[in-house]
Structure 1
Amino acid sequence: MSNQWVEGYTLEEVETSHKDYGWIVSKVKKSGGTFNIKKVFRIKNSSTWNAYQMTREAIFYEMGRKRVPEQRLFHGSPWAMQIAEQGFKIEYARSSGACGAGIYFSSKSSESYQYSCKNGSQTNVYLLVCKVALGVTVSGNRLEAGTHSVISGTKHVIYNETQAYPSYLIQII
């Protein structure tokens, strides 16, 4: 696996012997995942990464130059391949969610897996591991002024699509 980045988008398979593969398998199992992992891919998307970096920097200044809380969280979607390639799109968020029209993540792989399924163009099921800049969080089910994300149990919700960077794509058997 290469640490070099190129302009644009690439998926790079993570070898089973690589430490990142072991870390992901461990994170999945420790958070309730009982599904079998077929492959893990590292997502390299320069435009999505640059947008994430800019948003994280903006949050840094909004927080008075304090360290921005970030977490690696799971995201399940039948559109995982499209998210890997294009990033998250807030316009596709449904307002019927428990915390409104946001982008939902979980610290539990088993919870996010429930939202992973094949869509018409995919032959496999995928789960994303994302780096999420949570910023100032609020507990509950609605974003409040001066906050960047909502936490409700194991759910983390953001309302700015560039607050998350999809960094790994897990192919599930």
Structure 2
Amino acid sequence: MPLGQITPDRPQPPVGWRRSAARLPILLFRCGLGWVFGGRLLLLHHSGRVTGLHRRVVLEVVEYDPADGSWVVASGFGPRAAWYRNLRANPKTVIQVGNRHHAVTAHFLTSDDGAELMARYACRHPRTARHLCAFMGLPSDGSAAGFREVGRTIPFVRLDAGPGACPP
């Protein structure tokens, strides 16, 4: 399956009360309670590519590298997710991890990088990885090779903090 191809089994973003429930972590971050998520979730600030309006989304951290100050996140809804398309248009932004803000620049990873990331993630969080695959409608037999194949279909983004990154 090509990168980002949406199949009928692939879930769509939540609507109605499920959308409100999914957006609850944003409120917690805004109230200064981002620390409750540890480093597992981050709040991504992004600008609408058409409207220019300020947007926020909470994403799970797939991998964090403290040596170079980078976080990797994945777009479970594929390349059609609004935050993903917004970052494509404007890769310099700000994230919040815990109660700290970081200026970052988004770098879009290759499908081979995604394969290795997903395999490492599955080793660290096997149950969560299986549930995510089932939720996204992506087949995986639970093996490292199966998770690599799934990782090739998910768009991954590395958010690099550093001297080249600046807030929007």
TM superposition score normalised by structure 1: 0.29
Bigger strand fraction: 1
Bigger helix fraction: 2
